[in-house]
Amino acid sequence: MDDVRSGALPVDDAVRQLRRLPFADLGFARVDHHRNLRQGLAEVVYGPGKTPDQCADIVKELLDQPGGPVLLTRASAGQAAVALALNPEGERYDTTLVWRPAPPRPERVVLAAAGTADLPVADECGVVLAAHGLAPQRLNDVGVAGLHRILNEVDSLAEADAVVVVAGMEGALASVVGGLTTAPVVAVPTSAGYGSSLEGVTPLLAMMSSCAAGVTVVGVDNGFGAACAVLRLFKTRDRAASPAGLNDG
């Protein structure tokens, strides 16, 4: 609408774009073009279960319309190759691909991983945050088996606007961090751990039972979901700070 008002976009072109809202039906998928408008978040293509061509075509459809970032997550090597061949302006970060990243935002996010085995989940979270303009400060290998490691980072935790904690085993790092910072804490249990970690169920239940009040918990290995929780927090703050009380997406 701003482009139409300024004359940068002809009315007929605007009408063609609006015809594809709120979604475009590709036959195998109904691509949501309204998500950024409704939520201020990227529309994300989840790779597992889709063919490489389906992934590539959905990404292309999203990129053909103006909007925010476009992501392909949990992508296989084959899916990534085909998606990038059709949409070569993207960047690949292991299993996550990003097109049209957002401009930088000022908020400070700390992303703490308890152990090296938790890094793939933390990396997924970090890429999603970066695609939305955030540059998280990474604290790697700061689990409670060596408590001095996280205590050495109390200044970073105190200055954070949000903290994401990624931990397997018994998931105790979330409670420790929750007791050290005033920032919102989003905890991600991972499936890393010995014997009775039960593929992430033990840290999941521990985090949900945290004695640090207000810790938010997402599902096992869900680095993507943790990033989206942080982004929703910041979008709410954006809306509150807007003179009209509206989220501009």
Q: Give the separation between CA 119 and CA 48, rounded to whole angstroms.
A: 20
Question: For the chain, what are the domain ranges?
Answer: 2-99, 109-237
Q: Which is higher by pLDDT, 41 or 209?
A: 209
Mean pLDDT: which of 57-71, 126-140, 232-246 is highest?
A: 126-140
Render pLDDT for 73-85 as a digit per residue (tens, 0 to 9). Answer: 999 999 999 999 9
Mean of pLDDT values over 208-217: 92
Number of Cβ atoms within 10 Å of the Cβ of 167: 32
| pTM for this prediction | 0.83
Instruction: Name which residue leads in pLDDT, 15 or 181.
Output: 181
The pLDDT value recorded for residue 249 is 44
Average pLDDT, the chain: 88
CA–CA distance from 15 to each of 10, 19, 200 (Å)? 9, 6, 48
pLDDT in tens, 184-193: 999 999 999 8
Q: What is the DSSP track for 29-91?
A: -EEESSHHHHHSS-EEEE-TTS-HHHHHHHHHHHHTS--S-EEEES--HHHHHHHHHHSTT-E
* Eight-class DSSP state of 104: P
Please give the average per-residue pLDDT across 141-159, as a whole number: 93
Residue 64 pLDDT grade (very low, low, confident, very high; cuts 50, 70, 90): confident
pLDDT at 30: 63
Question: Minimal CA–CA distance to 131: which of 152, 159, 100?
Answer: 100
CATH topology of domain 109-237: Rossmann fold (3.40.50)
- Return the pLDDT at 8: 87
8 vs 208, more confident: 208
Q: Which sign, positive or negative, has the C-alpha torsion 119, 120, 122, 127? A: positive
- Confidence band of 241 (pLDDT split at 50, 70, 90): low
Closest to 62 measured CA to CA, from 72, 53, 52, 49: 72
The 10 Å Cβ neighbour count of residue 179 is: 14
Q: Where are the alpha helices (DSSP H) in the chain?
A: 2-6, 11-19, 35-39, 52-63, 77-86, 119-131, 148-151, 154-159, 173-178, 201-208, 223-241
Q: Of 13-17, 133-137, 156-160, 173-177, which gets the smallest average pLDDT?
A: 13-17
Q: Is the Cβ–Cβ distance between 165 and 226 less than 8 Å?
A: no
